[in-house]
Amino acid sequence: MKKLVLGSDHAGFPLKEKIAEHLRGKGFEIIDIGCHNGDSVDYPSISAQLAQAVQCIQQEAPEQTHYGILCCGSGIGVCIAANRYPWIRATEAHDHNTAILSRRHNDSNVLCLGARVLAAELAFTLIDEWLETPFDGGRHQKRVDMMSDPQIDIKKFDNTRMNASNSVPKEMPSC
């Protein structure tokens, strides 16, 4: 049975509960890191717990990709908080394209959903599409590597859009 880590703050709690039921029905083992009721909690703490749980199960079975889903009111707060961790590639998705492209091009491993902006049925569809979409690899792998390693020197990568000083993309004004 494939494991999936699931978490939410108080605003995302009702959606998280529906998602857990949906995914259990599809054969997933759910690791629910909370919250467990509608009492106020801080979403950065939930995102940190999810990141740690994903890392732990990744270490137990490194040959597989392990996923997490976070819910808050908009999906944005938990996404920002989760992306603090270099092994997490969290994306906030609100439509089919963002869910699918986040997997195909960014190899996202955490999906962030907004309980105040998505109906549960749409959330289920986005989750299913996200889980079924493979990473394209190829030219996208270098970019994923650049995001995943906090020690990487981004300047070492060839980027033809850089200016002569190799510091600011041409289309952006220098400060």
Tell me whether residue 169 is in a domain: no
Tell me whether residue 48 is in a domain: yes
Q: Is the pLDDT of residue 167 over 70?
A: no
Residue 157 has a pLDDT of 58
Count: domains in the chain: 1
Residue 154 has a pLDDT of 59
162: confidence class by pLDDT, cuts 50, 70, 90:
very low
54 in Cβ contact with 87 (< 8 Å): yes
Tell me whether residue 9 is in a domain: yes
Residue 158 has a pLDDT of 54
Cα angle for residues 135, 140, 146 (degrees, 5° grid): 115
C-alpha 129/C-alpha 103 separation (Å) is: 9
C-alpha 96/C-alpha 54 separation (Å) is: 24
Residue 153 has a pLDDT of 63
Tell me whether residue 100 is in a domain: yes
- Taking CA atoms, 67 is separated from 7, 35, 61, 132, in Å, by 12, 18, 12, 12
Burial class (CB in 10 A: 0-12, 13-18, 19+), 125: middle
49: confidence class by pLDDT, cuts 50, 70, 90:
very high
Query: Of residues 139 and 60, which shows the higher confidence score?
Result: 60
Tell me whether residue 170 is in a domain: no
Map residue 175 onto helix, strand or coil. Answer: coil
106 in Cβ contact with 99 (< 8 Å): no
The answer to whether residue 10 is catalytic is no
What are 129's two structure tokens? 């599409």
Residue 146 has a pLDDT of 72
pLDDT in tens, 64-95: 889 999 999 999 999 999 999 999 999 999 99
Residue 173 has a pLDDT of 46
pTM attached to this predicted model: 0.84
Residue 1 has a pLDDT of 66
Tell me whether residue 165 is in a domain: no
Task: Write the CATH number for 90.
Answer: 3.40.1400.10
pLDDT in tens, 102-160: 998 989 999 999 999 999 999 999 999 999 999 877 676 677 667 676 666 656 655 55
The answer to whether residue 105 is catalytic is yes
Residue 64 has a pLDDT of 84
Residue 132, domain extent: 3-136
Residue 150 has a pLDDT of 66
Tell me whether residue 163 is in a domain: no
Tell me whether residue 123 is in a domain: yes
Active-site entry in 10, 35, 66, 72: 72
Best CA proximity match to 107, nearest among 94, 125, 89, 92: 89
